Amino acid sequence: MTGDPAFSTGDHHHALSPSPPPNLLITMEEGSQNSEQLFEDDGNELEMEGNDIDIDSNSLDIEGNGLDIESNGLQDDCDGMLEIDDNHESNRDDATAVSIENGIFQGKNYPPPAVGMEFESYDDAYNYYNCYAKELGFAIRVKSSWTKRNSKEKRGAVLCCNCEGFKTIKEANSRRKETRTGCLAMIRLRLVESNRWRVDEVKLEHNHLFDHERAQNCKSHKKMDAVAKRKVEPTVDVEVRTIKLYRTSMADPVGYGNLNSLEGEISETVDRSKRLKLTKGDSQIIYDFFSRIQLTSPNFVYLIDLNDESCLRNVFWMDSRSRAAYGYFGDVVAVDTMCLSNKYEIPLVAFAGVNHHGQSILLGCGLLADDTFESYVWLFRAWLTCMSGRSPQTIITDHCRAMQSAISEVFPRAHHRLHLSHVMQSLFENLGELQESGVFQMILNRTVYETVKVDEFEMGWDDMIRRFGLADHAWLCTLYEERERWAPVYQKDTFFAGMCTFENGECRSSFFDGFVHKQTSLKEFFGKYELLVQEERKIEAINDLESRDSSPLLKTRCFYELQLSKLYTNEIFRRFQDEVVMMPCFSITQVHANGPVITYMIKEHEAEGDRSNIKNFEVMHDKAGTEIRCICSCFNFNGYLCRHCLCVLHYNGVEEIPFQYILSRWRKDFKRLYIPELGSNNIDISNPVQWFDHLHRRAMQVVEEGMISRDHYTVAWQAFKESLNKVRLVADKHV
């Protein structure tokens, strides 16, 4: 067992082995506690070097691909259509500005680092982070790096804030002022197969104030030559084409989607396949709905796509709450095309995420004329534009070639995965009589759901194909070629936030399940839409109150259970609690050690009371970096540690779960203000539009806080009255 690659995945540059290669020399910066450890398994001989390193190269400037949405609402003087401009536009000025949102500092000219950013070279990546740091007011250094042995080819690095770590005892006795605070802000870079440098880990939060003056004099910033700066941009998904919004007169009593048709007139030459399939009065229903919602929600946005005959082709809409929720829960997004693929009366496509209660939340809706590549590209670009160009980490969809190509076009660096439950369902539907075979179902389920290594899956699949004579089944061969998009064993480095449960293939992705049926009309849908959305938000508010005011019942004496009962929302805690209850494992054995990195073998029974079938799980633990990873990949799949990792932590006397494994997206005390991101705190004082955006955002923050309780409401209302009186006094002085 120990000779097998424990963490083999389809994405080999992310693969992990049971232990780092024996020739991987690791040297961390002296005095650095919380040192970072990288597990590599690319077959290369690597060498680490990690003294305070400053790369002498020209500093780089990053010019954001601004997404130009001409209006949050609609322009009254235009009667046109949605346009997609191939040219990137940027309305940013040259002034440096810094904003603070949710405790994260963001530069105006340099977007915060994010997992998935890629750069042409290491120097580009270093200089981007250096420029970002300088703008905010902190310095950076190379905490550690690794190169190929007997070569100077760099393979990866960790760049950290200059305040990382603490002085050694020797340094503490010197007269130099203490500047280190144990800050954890950092980015981890690694060279990937495309010979590009990718950011694969980010920590943005600092534990100290910024000092622009002192930062300017640090080594990393002194090397910056302002005259020789060249513009470099991280290739993150902020490069969607500009989408401009215009008012469109949608009412058409007879034309069924022809916006300019007259009473009783509709051209027979219009290609009906390239326009939205509507019945009489449907376009008026859409228009009335959008108009009514916009009156009560100023940040509601809708996009209209017209064909060459000015007929309605595609529609997209999103409300203010969804736009704001994406900022907290946009890491994993499912695209629900059930209505479109099954030919429902209403051609609905919905974007869904999961909130801090594991509850499905709506992140946008669309109506599409067809399921072609062009329609999906329009829809995804429209949605991404409303999300300020921020691509999700993971996108989950049905098995559709056109949609797959569109995602590659619009979200090139997102992890695209397929609904496992839908894949399994279609698999049975395409195998004729075999779908009735209990033996075949058992073998298939065991191969897909229970294998933990790639070679186990592939051997099991080959045995299944031979046993049931499926070698010439073309559809099955095609599905197997795409196995890295749906088989759990290939997805251990993909974060799913609990949206998919790989034990049984279920997926919490359909927001409208049970509310929209094949015969549901557009009028019925929009009649239910607001009620359903309100019900979703009501349930979330109730869950917030219950999680905040109740104490979950503990089932064990394990301190990990007590620790997270105080932090997680009730639903997420219940899921984690199931892992704690199953913690007593059959045995734990140390099988390999390489310095602080130790690999353990956990043996557990497959079923309660069945002592004959035993499953083995390998867990890698880095004591120095307090990092732990299990071959079952529960943390990536569900967002919390598995029972196997908990066993190893307990075995090593670790009394608390390390903070990096307690995600803020699950915490009940994490402040969430459901108001959209409207830009920087720094505004152009000559621009009235920016006045409105800035004041509206701050007012909505007071509204959100004022809804917490009756006392909060009273204070907020009093503050509004006092503010209004003060503003009127200012106005009176200028009369």
> pLDDT tens-digit profile of 275-306?
888 888 888 999 899 988 887 776 788 999 98
Q: Domain check: are 528 and 409 in the same one?
A: yes
Question: Taking the C-alpha atoms of 691, 694, 698 and 699 in order, what is their torsion angle to the nearest 10 degrees?
Answer: 40
Of the two residues 138 and 700, the one the predictor is more confident about is 138
Q: Domain check: are 401 and 526 in the same one?
A: yes
pLDDT, position 171: 53
Q: Domain check: are 543 and 483 in the same one?
A: no
DSSP letter for each residue of 520-586: --HHHHHHHHHHHHHHHHHHHHHHHHHHHH--PPP-S--HHHHHHHTTB-HHHHHHHHHHHHT---S
Structural contact between residues 289 and 253, judged by C-beta atoms closer than 8 angstroms: no
CA distances from 267 to 79, 81, 249, 255, 264 (A): 21, 20, 19, 9, 10
Q: Domain check: are 450 and 342 in the same one?
A: no
Is the residue at 260 inside a domain?
A: no
Is the residue at 265 inside a domain?
A: no
> Could you tell me how many helices (H) and strands (E) the chain has, helices first?
20, 25
> pLDDT tens-digit profile of 317-365?
998 888 889 989 999 999 999 888 888 899 999 999 999 999 999 999 9
Structural contact between residues 198 and 116, judged by C-beta atoms closer than 8 angstroms: yes
Q: Domain check: are 575 and 632 in the same one?
A: yes
Q: Domain check: are 369 and 436 in the same one?
A: no
Q: Domain check: are 319 and 408 in the same one?
A: yes
> pLDDT tens-digit profile of 667-726?
998 777 676 554 445 666 666 666 776 787 778 778 777 877 788 889 999 999 989 888
pLDDT, position 175: 54
Q: Domain check: are 326 and 372 in the same one?
A: yes
CA distances from 191 to 183, 199, 439, 490, 706 (A): 25, 9, 45, 20, 48
Is the residue at 220 inside a domain?
A: yes
Is the residue at 563 inside a domain?
A: no
Residue 361: closest CA among 381, 331, 391: 331
User: How far is Cα 705 from Cα 692, in angstroms, rounded to an integer?
Assistant: 20
DSSP letter for each residue of 210-250: --HHHHHTSHHHHT--STT-EE----SS--PPEEE------
| Average pLDDT estimate for 62-80 | 33
Q: Domain check: are 400 and 302 in the same one?
A: yes
Is the residue at 675 inside a domain?
A: no
Is the residue at 321 inside a domain?
A: yes
Give SS3 for 393: coil
* Among candidate residues 635, 666, 697, the one where a domain is terminated: 666
Q: Domain check: are 428 and 487 in the same one?
A: yes
pLDDT, position 414: 92
Domain that holds residue 469: 420-499
pLDDT, position 431: 84
| Residue whose pair of structure tokens reads 């007011």 in the numeric block | 137
| Average pLDDT estimate for 49-59 | 38
> pLDDT tens-digit profile of 494-509?
999 988 776 655 666 5
Is the residue at 203 inside a domain?
A: yes
User: How far is Cα 155 from Cα 681, in angstroms, rounded to an integer?
Assistant: 38
Q: Domain check: are 390 and 531 in the same one?
A: yes
Sequence-separated (6 or more) residues with CB below 8 Å from residue 126: 55, 57, 142, 157, 159
Residue 632: closest CA among 621, 647, 643, 648: 643
**282-316 per-residue burial string, b: 16 or more CB within 10 A, e: under 16:** bbebbbebbeebbeeeebbbbbbbbbebbbbbbbb
| pTM, full prediction | 0.62
Residue 224: closest CA among 56, 97, 344: 56
How many domains are there within the chain? 5
pLDDT, position 356: 94
Beta strand pairing call for 83-85 and 140-148: unpaired
Of the two residues 31 and 612, the one the predictor is more confident about is 612
Q: Domain check: are 598 and 718 in the same one?
A: no
Is the residue at 398 inside a domain?
A: yes
